[in-house]
Amino acid sequence: MDLILQMTDLKAMKATINDVAKLAGVSIKTVSRVTNNETGVRQSTKEKVQQAIDQLKYQPNQSARSLAGTKSYVIGFVYDNPNAYYVIDMQQGILDACRANHYELLIHPINSKSENLLDELVEMVKHSRMSGLLLTPPLSEMTDIIQSLEEKGIKLVRILSGNANSKVTTPSVFVDDRSAAFQITQHLIEQGHQKIAFFGGDEEHNSSQERRQGYIDALTQANIKIESGLMLAGRYSFESGVESCKRVMSGVSKPSAIFACNDEIAAGALFSARLLGLDVPKDVAIAGFEDNPFSRQTWPKLTTAAQPTQEIASQAAELLFKNLRPSTQGDSTEQFISFQPQLVIRESTQS
């Protein structure tokens, strides 16, 4: 009876590292080594400690761990992106990896055009005692900032639009936007379209340039004339899609199809087309990019390129943790991960 009451009381309270060590029959130091993912611990011991952690629902106090020693158990996700769906998916993917590796996450929006950008980043890392940073575009594409952060000894993983190449030495996750954009444009060509407009996103994001190049490559391969009047610069927003559609449809050379640089722009273009009395896809076909909820909430639903943002974020975080572990620091292998967004064909491009 006393044992049952004791266990009930233990479960009612927040479990401590002492409770885990006692239940697993190991030392506190061993529990700490397991939760810190340190090497040299036998697999059977790891499993025994993990069973105790799961049974007690033990959650390490990362702040206390950081203050108790020289190692920090906090990473930062820094972003400057107007796409709320992208940011939310990134956060969820990183958080999943943080929980699995017993780290905490600090989420910090920032103005990438700030004159004091470098000082702000360095101060944030120093003040919060971060182990490292995950950077997304356009921050991840600012080579001067990246070089300065690395010179200060700050561990980084970058998420970039493009392919792995010798010019990038920082651990990075690449998204092949160009190939996916090529596939989308090729799909529109296969549907019989010869006049295809391109609605760009923010120019400071390399993804906009990569997606435009994929569009150009597909038109070139199909021997279709590239018309500058059908390529409109814009922003990654619904409003940008509305305005771009109004502009291109008021011109002399009207397109029969539109490839928008993301789903928000595409949804705005669809809305604008409806206001102009156009039927989608009969009068104009519309495709987006990323496969965020906008692509599934419109009518008709949008053809797009599915970009696994949560998985990209999770893999980027795992790559950062790998480079934070003593056994893998300086390891030049498997420092680059690539993702290929996949074409998803829906009603907005099918007559």
User: What tens digit of pLDDT does each residue of 179-207 get?
Assistant: 999 999 999 999 999 999 999 999 999 99
Token reading at 258: 């539109």
What global pTM score does this model have?
0.80
Assess whether pLDDT exceeds 80 at residue 272: yes
Per DSSP, the three-state class of 289 is coil
What are the distances in angstroms from CA 240 to CA 63, 135, 197, 201?
Answer: 42, 25, 14, 8
Query: Residue 26: its pLDDT value, please?
Result: 87
Assess whether pLDDT exceeds 80 at residue 256: yes
Higher pLDDT, 285 or 5: 285
Superfamily of domain 68-175+309-341: Response regulator (3.40.50.2300)
Query: Could you give the residue range(s) of every CATH 3.40.50.2300 domain in the chain?
Result: 68-175+309-341, 177-307+343-349
Helices (H), 129-262: 143-151, 177-190, 206-221, 238-249
For domain 177-307+343-349, the question of CATH label 3.20.20.70 is answered with no
Mean pLDDT comparison of 26-40, 49-63, 72-86, 138-152, highest-scoring range: 138-152
Name the nearest CA neighbour of 66 among 96, 104, 106.
104
**Tokens 């620091």 found at:** 329
Q: What class, spelled out in words, does domain 2-60 have in CATH?
A: mainly alpha
| Least trusted range by pLDDT, from 26-30, 33-37, 108-112 | 33-37
Name the nearest CA neighbour of 292 among 110, 92, 112, 154.
92
8 Å CB contact between 274 and 256 = no
